[in-house]
Amino acid sequence: MSIQWFPGHMHLTRKLIAERIKDIDVVIEVLDARMPGSSANPALTELTGHKPTLKIINKQDMADAARTALWVDWYDAQHETKALPLDASEPAPAKRLVEACRKLAPGRGGMAKPLRVLICGVPNVGKSTLINSMSGKGQAKAGDEAGVTKDEQRIVLDDDFYLWDTPGMLWPKIIVPQTGYNLAACGSVGRNAYDDELVALELLLYLQMHYARHLDERYKLGLDDEEIAALHDDELLTLIGKKRGAVMSGGRVNMQKAAELLITDFRTQMLGRITLEVPAEFEQWRAAGEAAEAEHQAKKAEHAKHRKAGRKRY
Ligand SMILES: Nc1nc2c(ncn2[C@@H]2O[C@H](COP(=O)(O)OP(=O)(O)OP(=O)(O)O)[C@@H](O)[C@H]2O)c(=O)[nH]1
Ligand SMILES: [Mg+2]
C-alpha cells in the first residue's frame, strides 16, 4: 500500500479549483525538480488540462542539473506542454513568467479583460514563493512544510494581471508506491501520514544506487560506490545513525532519529543536489502501478460479483 494523503481540505481545494478554472486563462502547475514526475498531479491535469498550461520545474537549485534537462525534454515532447526549470526564490526569472503567461493568452490584457492566472501544484513545491517573486511583494504566505496555504488567495500583479494562489493538493489514490515515498521525502505529505523509517529506507535505497558519493561525503563512510550499494539499507541507516550520534544508552542506534536525520539532510541539501527519478524509470513505475491497480480493481469486481450471486442464492 502506497502512502496516501487526501485530507478534507484537499477535497475543498479540488472543488474550489473546479469552480475557479472557468474564469482562468492560463494555468501554472508547479512541480518539484527533485521529483518532476511524482509531483505532477493527475487530478490537477484532469481539472485544468483544457487550459494553456506552463509546467514549472521548481527548486531546480536543489536538483541534479543533468536530470532536470531530461525532464524538460520529456515534458516538452508531450502534446502542448511547455516546461521551464526555475528557482522560485529568485525574482528575475520568476518575473519573466509574466511575459510567458501573456504569450499563452494573447486575447487577454487591458483593464476590461485582465489576464487571470491560476497557480497550482502538490503541497510545498513553492507556489506561494513563486507568486511572491512574480509580484515582488510578500503577499502570499510561504513556509517549509506541507499545507501552508489554506485557502485560495487573489494577488493583483498589475491592473490587468491577476494571480490566484491555491492550497497544495494531492490526489485521492496514489497508485505508484515510489511516488508516495518521493512525495514524503520531499516534504509534500503531512507529517502524520507516513512512517519516517520507511521513507528513509526507500530514500536510502535510491541514494545507494545513484548517489553513493553524496552519502560517502556527507557521512564520511570511507566506502567505495560498490561497497555502499552492497550494504543492506537497514545496515546503512544504522551506520549513518552511528556516524551522526543517533545512539541510545547501551550503544544501540535510534533508528527513528537516524531516519529523521537522513530525511532532514536530504531536504536541507546537506546531501547535495539530488533528483529522485528520471523519465524512463518513472514511466516504468507508473506502468507497474497502473497494472497493479487494474488487477486490484478486477479482483474487487470479481469479489462483488460472487457476493451478489451468493446473496441471490439464499
Ligand atoms: N531552494 C529552493 N527553495 C524553494 C524554492 N521555492 C520555494 N522554496 C522553499 O520551499 C518551501 C515551500 O514554499 P511555499 O511557497 O510555501 O510552497 P507552497 O507550494 O506554496 O506550499 P503549500 O502552500 O504548503 O502547498 C519554502 O521553505 C520556500 O522557501 C526554490 O526554487 N528553491
Ligand atoms: Mg502556499
| Tens digit of pLDDT at every position of the chain (314 positions) | 689 999 999 999 999 999 999 999 999 999 999 999 999 999 999 999 899 999 999 999 999 999 999 999 999 998 778 899 999 999 999 989 999 999 999 999 899 999 999 999 999 999 999 999 999 888 888 988 888 888 889 999 999 999 999 999 999 999 999 999 999 999 999 999 999 999 999 999 999 999 999 999 999 999 999 999 999 999 999 999 999 999 998 989 999 999 999 999 999 999 999 999 999 999 999 999 999 999 999 999 998 888 888 776 65
> Which ligand has the nearest atom to the CA of 89?
1
Report if residue 175 sits inside a domain. Answer: no
CATH number of the domain where residue 54 is located? 3.40.50.300
Smallest Cα–Cα separation from 29: which of 4, 15, 46?
46
> Both 127 and 208 in a single domain?
no
pTM as predicted? 0.95
* 127: in domain: yes
10 CA to centre of ligand 2 in angstroms? 13
Are residues 94 and 201 both part of a single domain?
no
> Do residues 125 and 199 both lie within one domain?
no
Identify whether residues 213 and 140 lie together within a single domain.
no
- The CATH number covering residue 253 comes to 1.10.1580.10
269 CA closest ligand 1 atom index: 1
Nearest atom within ligand 1 for CA of residue 62: 1
Question: Same domain, yes or no, for 27 and 152?
Answer: yes
Q: Are residues 79 and 14 in the same domain?
A: yes
What's the CA-to-centroid distance between 87 and ligand 1, angstroms?
Answer: 10
39 and 142 part of one domain: yes
The answer on 132 and 50 residing in a single domain is yes
Sheet holding 26-32, edge to edge: 82-85, 53-58, 26-32, 115-121, 161-165, 153-158
User: Which tens digits make up the pLDDT trace of 50-104?
Assistant: 999 999 999 999 999 999 999 999 999 987 788 999 999 999 999 899 999 999 9
Closest residue CA from atom 2 of ligand 1: 59
CA distance 121 to 84: 15
CA of 128 to the centre of ligand 1 (A): 7
Residue nearest to atom 1 of ligand 1 (CA): 59
Q: Three-state SS across the chain?
A: CCCCCCCHHHHHHHHHHHHHHHHCCEEEEEEECCCCCCCCCHHHHHHHCCCCEEEEEECHHHCCHHHHHHHHHHHHCCCCCEEEECCCCCHHHHHHHHHHHHHHCCCCCCCCCCEEEEEEECCCCCHHHHHHHHHCCCCCCCCCCCCCCCCCEEEEEECCEEEEECCCCCCCCCCCHHHHHHHHHCCCCCHHHCCHHHHHHHHHHHHHHHCHHHHHHHHCCCCCHHHHHHCCHHHHHHHHHHHCCCECCCCCECHHHHHHHHHHHHHCCCCCCCCCCCHHHHHHHHHHHHHHHHHHHHHHHHHHHHHHHHHHHC
Task: Give yes or no: residues 37 and 155 share one domain.
Answer: yes
Number of separate domains in the chain: 2
Ligand 2: distance of its center to the CA of 127 in Å? 5
Q: How far is the CA of 55 from the centre of ligand 1 (A)?
A: 16
Determine how many CB atoms are found less than 10 A away from the CB of residue 298.
Answer: 10
Is position 95 within any domain? yes
Contact criterion met (CB below 8 Å) for 192 and 5: no
Q: How many CB atoms lie within 10 A of CB 177?
A: 16
- Which atom of ligand 1 lies closest to the CA of 122? 25
For residue 250, report the distance from its CA to the centre of ligand 1, in Å: 40
| Domain-embedded: residue 305 | no
User: Counting ligands in written order, which one lies closest to the CA of residue 269?
Assistant: 1
Domain-embedded: residue 181: no
The distance between the two most distant Cα atoms of the chain, rounded to a whole number of Å, is: 72
- pLDDT value at residue 168: 97
260/255 Cα distance (integer angstroms): 9
Q: Kind of pairing, strands 53-58 and 82-85?
A: parallel
Is 225 part of any domain? yes
Chain-centroid distance of CA 279 in Å reads 14
Burial label, 261 (beta-carbon count in 10 A; 0-12, 13-18, 19+): buried
Same domain as 208, residue 120: no
Same domain, 113 and 203: no
Residues around the ion ligand 2 (C-beta < 5 A): 127-128, 148-149
Q: Which atom number of ligand 1 is nearest to the Cα of residue 125?
A: 19
User: Does one domain contain both 36 and 148?
Assistant: yes
Any domain includes 295: no
Q: Domain span at residue 248? A: 195-267
Among 36, 60, 82, residue whose Cα is nearest residue 281: 36
Query: What is the structure's pLDDT at 313?
Result: 61
**How far apart (Å, rounded) are the C-alpha atoms in residues 206 and 212?**
9
